Amino acid sequence: MKNTLLFTLVGGLILFVWQFLSFAMLNLHGSASEHTPLQDEILERLAELELEEGMYALGTLSQEDYNDPAKVEAYFREQDGQPWAILNYHHAWQSDMTPNLIRSMLINFLLAFGFLWVMRKLAIEGTGERIAAAVGIGLIGFFFHPYSQFIWFEAPDIYAHLLDSIVPFVLLGWLSSKWS
């Protein structure tokens, strides 16, 4: 039980620190949140439109229009080669990161605990095999999401997500071989 608790805490911290490195310090995901000098005009215009908060795929049909096959075919023919965008719109910026950091930390502890449970059920003994299994677990998460989303929406930080699926899991695999 002591090793489980210790692994959960240290493993959760490994995941948390990696996320900080990946998203902040090393800015590996920077390509997914580029700055545009047009941001003020874009945000002003969006506010004028009184858009509901949400995520929008711009350059698509409404759900109702998908019921008409002729409309869908004509629209896709017309849209081919045209610009498109994904818009994640919020009415107000929240600068207090405390709730997000707490949720992230709690989820990372839960992930580390679940990871150790799976590794124990696999009953793999060697360090190299543990690391390989850990990377496999990380890649399963990567291929399910974000890669399956990348297939459709081409997020520019896909290689950063791939690193996120490998680097911390190598560390968790190594750690699990020492503490379980």
pLDDT tens profile 139-180: 999 999 999 999 999 999 999 999 999 999 999 999 999 987
pLDDT tens profile 34-93: 999 999 999 999 999 999 999 999 999 999 999 999 999 999 999 999 999 999 999 999
Q: Domain extents for the chain? A: 2-30+96-179
pLDDT tens profile 13-28: 999 999 999 999 999 9
* Residue 122, CA distances (Å) to 18, 94, 139, 161, 177 in order: 25, 42, 17, 26, 12
Q: Which pLDDT value is given to residue 179? A: 84
Distant-in-sequence, close-in-space partners of 75: CB < 8 Å, separation ≥ 6: 61, 65
CA angle at 164 for the pair 1 and 123, rounded to the nearest 5° = 35
